């Protein structure tokens, strides 16, 4: 007897709900981490709203042929934004579908049960839809409420906004399910080709960050008195108009929002939704089911040259190698650890080029060293977020390692030292780049490296210990962590607080002393250096306090 889709969905939803509330039921839910996660998300949305509001204010005041045209500017703004939102949601949809269909263990389990594959896939898509619906609400409301208030939109605008919240994930998931097979094939092609994977991912990240630097430069122009207006000359505006004319389906969304009773946009939206869903269903029937079954068969490809048992004698080095291989051979870990660490110096450099002149123009003083210290700590912290999974990454193997004759010191040291090596290489490149480009003298470059390293070490130690105290092991077969934990949010917050506290202190001190005519440049070295030593010392104490006892008494991980 076959179960229907409704009961499968109900079962899946119940399973997912139980998994989410499991830490509650066990009584070890990380409340602080959860609150910080929510607060960070709210802060990001608030930051976006502030910048978008400022940009919208400038963009709506642009004139074409010496005339204000707020409805057209609003239409263009919405078309471009929804174009970006659709791309974002399609990409995240592809990743979610791929994970749910080809990565989740329950598919294997349900495949062996009397559950139709169509119903199984359908129910998976509905649960993904519900997740995307929440994202859609957050994004759509942020954009539409900000713009709606600014252009004094009527009630129709808000009614259409509600409809778009429902329709948007439907369109994007349908498009995602069409693209998931090529994505999966590409993933299979790159599977086990770790070096190629690493190069491609790092290059893509580099390009993305270059584009981000361009956006940062535009924000700088905006902050320096609205000169960004001059960027939008007649030629640029004509290009934007042409682009918006052909940017489907986002131009239909914008059209429906700006003119609720416009037939063309509604017709287009309904047709594109229906076409996407139909095509997606055909695709599911023809290709995805087969791919899902082939995934269950697994692969058996040799990836290494044949070698004998290795001759190493050093347990610490062996654990270090194990840690490296674990990260390097898991694409998501490799991206979060190595690729981000490679790109970190570029982040510092790009931001330095933008912020150096910005600060000089705004304050009238040169703050290059202070800026370099601030950016190094900030991006160093963001690079070390990965360390917030240092323990959870091991999953059940953390228990197995406890059964080996290895001291707790060696286990933790191998994790911390690998992260420290990655941080050291990243910080060194960053310091060389900033000094070589002439922003700071060479001796300040050395100072920058030492300070960056000490703060990096503090990050690593705090992240590792926090993760140990709040470990959350994956229950998937491959043990891979697919969702960011509360520990990640806590470490982001600590990193932000640390960088803004230190950055703020050295900026304020230099500004006050210079305005009073005193040149106490050595105080920047003293203050930043002193705080770096203090943070590193505090983090070391936090890391080692009761560690040995807690290691032998460890029963966490929520598994």
Partner 1 sequence: MENVERQTVVKVNKLCKRYSKKAELAIKDVSFDCFAGEIVGLLGHNGAGKSTTLKCIEGMLPFESGEVSICGYDIKKEPLKAKANMGFVTDNHAVFIKMTGIEYISLMATIYNVPNDVREERLKKLEDIFQLGDAIHNLISSYSHGMRQKVCMMASLIHEPMLWILDEPMTGLDPRTMRAVREFMREYAESGHCIIFSSHALSSVAMICDRVVLIRKGHQISDINIKELMQQDPDFDFEEYFLKSETDDSEDASANGDGEQEGTDEK
| Residue ranges in contact with partner 1 by CB under 8 A | 26-27, 192, 298-315, 318-319, 321-322, 325-326, 329-330, 396-397, 399-400, 402-407, 478-479, 552-555, 559
Sign of CA dihedral 355, 357, 361, 366: positive
Burial class of 412 by CB neighbour count within 10 A (0 to 12, 13 to 18, 19+): buried
**402 closest CA partner among 546, 549, 552:** 552
**133 closest CA partner among 99, 94, 101, 162:** 162
Separation between Cα atoms, residue 231 and residue 216, nearest integer Å:
14
What does the block give as tokens for 28?
A: 């070890």
What is the per-residue DSSP string for 120-156?
HHHHHHHHHHHHHHHHHHHHHHHHHHHHHHHHT--HH
Cβ proximity to partner 1, 475 vs 540, nearer residue: 475
SS3 of 63, please?
A: strand
Cβ proximity to partner 1, 305 vs 516, nearer residue: 305
Cβ proximity to partner 1, 70 vs 318, nearer residue: 318
Query: Minimum CB separation from partner 1 for residue 311, in Å?
Result: 5
Which run of H or E residues covers position 67? Answer: strand 67-68
Separation between Cα atoms, residue 139 and residue 145, nearest integer Å:
10
Query: Minimum CB separation from partner 1 for residue 302, in Å?
Result: 5
Query: Minimum CB separation from partner 1 for residue 104, in Å?
Result: 16
Separation between Cα atoms, residue 78 and residue 88, nearest integer Å:
15
Cβ proximity to partner 1, 73 vs 393, nearer residue: 393
Q: Treating both helix axes as pointing N-terminal to C-terminal, what angle do 442-469 and 486-515 enclose, rounded to 10 degrees? A: 150
Query: Minimum CB separation from partner 1 for residue 485, in Å?
Result: 19
Query: Minimum CB separation from partner 1 for residue 31, in Å?
Result: 18
Cβ proximity to partner 1, 235 vs 311, nearer residue: 311
Cβ proximity to partner 1, 257 vs 334, nearer residue: 334
Query: Minimum CB separation from partner 1 for residue 394, in Å?
Result: 9
Query: Minimum CB separation from partner 1 for residue 329, in Å?
Result: 4
Cβ proximity to partner 1, 255 vs 556, nearer residue: 556
Query: Minimum CB separation from partner 1 for residue 32, in Å?
Result: 21
Query: Minimum CB separation from partner 1 for residue 344, in Å?
Result: 24
Query: Minimum CB separation from partner 1 for residue 210, in Å?
Result: 31
Query: Minimum CB separation from partner 1 for residue 546, in Å?
Result: 14
Query: Minimum CB separation from partner 1 for residue 551, in Å?
Result: 10
Separation between Cα atoms, residue 278 and residue 378, nearest integer Å:
47
Separation between Cα atoms, residue 248 and residue 244, nearest integer Å:
8
Cβ proximity to partner 1, 234 vs 553, nearer residue: 553
Cβ proximity to partner 1, 300 vs 483, nearer residue: 300
Cβ proximity to partner 1, 51 vs 396, nearer residue: 396
Burial class of 243 by CB neighbour count within 10 A (0 to 12, 13 to 18, 19+): middle
Query: Minimum CB separation from partner 1 for residue 322, in Å?
Result: 6
Phi/psi of residue 64, nearest 5 degrees: -120, 135
Cβ proximity to partner 1, 195 vs 303, nearer residue: 303
Separation between Cα atoms, residue 336 and residue 326, nearest integer Å:
13
Helices (H), 191-297: 194-223, 234-246, 250-258, 263-283, 289-297
Over the range 53-69, which residues count as b (16 or more CB within 10 Å of their CB) and which as e? Answer: eebbeebbebeeeeeee
Neighbours of 25 (CB within 10 A): 10
Cβ proximity to partner 1, 234 vs 555, nearer residue: 555
User: Count of H helices and E strands in the chain?
Assistant: 21, 2
Separation between Cα atoms, residue 75 and residue 155, nearest integer Å:
17
SS3 of 3, please?
A: strand
Separation between Cα atoms, residue 131 and residue 129, nearest integer Å:
5
Cβ proximity to partner 1, 199 vs 400, nearer residue: 400
Over the range 329-364, which residues count as b (16 or more CB within 10 Å of their CB) and which as e? Answer: ebbebbbbbbbbbbbbbbbbbbbbbbbbebbeeeee
What does the block give as tokens for 487?
A: 């520990």
């Amino acid at each position: 007897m076959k179960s229907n889709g409704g009961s499968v969905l109900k079962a899946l939803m119940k399973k997912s709900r139980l998994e989410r509330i499991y830490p509650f039921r066990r009584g070890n839910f990380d409340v602080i981490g959860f609150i910080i996660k929510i607060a960070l998300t709210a802060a990001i949305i608030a930051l976006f709203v502030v910048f978008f509001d400022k940009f919208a204010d400038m963009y709506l005041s642009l004139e074409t042929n010496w005339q204000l045209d707020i409805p057209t500017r609003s239409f263009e703004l919405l078309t471009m934004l929804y174009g970006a939102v659709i791309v974002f949601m399609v990409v995240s949809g592809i990743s979610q579908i791929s994970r749910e269909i080809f990565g989740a263990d329950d598919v294997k389990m349900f495949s062996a049960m009397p559950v139709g594959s169509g119903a199984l896939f359908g129910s998976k898509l509905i649960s993904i839809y519900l997740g995307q619906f929440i994202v859609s609400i957050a994004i759509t409301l942020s954009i539409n409420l900000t713009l709606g208030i600014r252009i004094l939109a009527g009630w129709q605008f808000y009614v259409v906004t509600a409809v778009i919240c429902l329709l948007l994930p439907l369109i994007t998931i349908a498009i995602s399910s069409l693209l998931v097979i090529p994505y999966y094939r590409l993933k299979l092609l790159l599977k086990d080709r770790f070096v190629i994977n690493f190069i491609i991912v790092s290059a893509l990240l580099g390009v993305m960050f270059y584009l981000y630097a361009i956006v940062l430069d535009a924000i700088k122009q905006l902050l320096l008195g609205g000169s960004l207006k001059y960027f939008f000359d007649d030629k640029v505006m004509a290009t934007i108009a042409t682009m918006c004319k052909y940017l489907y389906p986002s131009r239909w969304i914008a059209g429906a929002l700006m003119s609720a009773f416009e037939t063309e946009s509604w017709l287009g939206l309904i047709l594109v939704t229906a076409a996407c869903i139909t095509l997606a269903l055909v695709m599911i029937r023809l290709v995805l089911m087969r791919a899902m079954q082939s995934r269950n068969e697994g692969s058996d490809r040799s990836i290494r040259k044949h070698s004998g048992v290795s001759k190493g004698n050093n347990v610490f080095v062996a654990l270090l190698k194990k840690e490296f291989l674990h990260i390097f051979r898991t694409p998501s870990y490799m991206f979060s650890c190595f690729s981000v660490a490679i790109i970190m110096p570029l982040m510092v450099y790009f931001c330095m080029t933008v912020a150096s002149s910005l600060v000089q123009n705004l304050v009238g003083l040169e703050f290059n060293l202070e800026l370099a210290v601030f950016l190094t700590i900030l991006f160093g912290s963001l690079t070390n977020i990965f360390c917030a999974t240092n323990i959870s990454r091991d999953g059940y193997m953390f228990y197995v390692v406890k059964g080996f004759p290895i001291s707790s010191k060696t286990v933790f040291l191998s994790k911390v030292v690998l992260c420290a090596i990655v941080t050291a290489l990243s910080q060194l490149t960053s310091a060389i780049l900033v000094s070589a480009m002439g922003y700071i003298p060479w001796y300040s470059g050395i100072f920058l490296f030492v300070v960056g390293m000490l703060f990096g070490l503090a990050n690593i130690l705090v992240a590792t210990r926090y993760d140990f105290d709040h470990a959350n092991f994956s229950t998937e077969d491959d043990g891979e962590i697919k969702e960011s934990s509360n520990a990640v949010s806590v470490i982001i917050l600590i990193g932000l607080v640390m960088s803004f506290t230190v950055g703020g202190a050295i900026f304020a001190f230099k500004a006050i002393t210079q305005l009073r005519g005193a040149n106490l440049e050595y105080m920047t070295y003293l203050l930043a250096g002193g705080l770096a030593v203090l943070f590193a010392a505090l983090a070391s104490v936090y890391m080692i306090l009761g560690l040995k006892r807690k290691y032998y008494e460890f029963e966490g991980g929520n598994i």
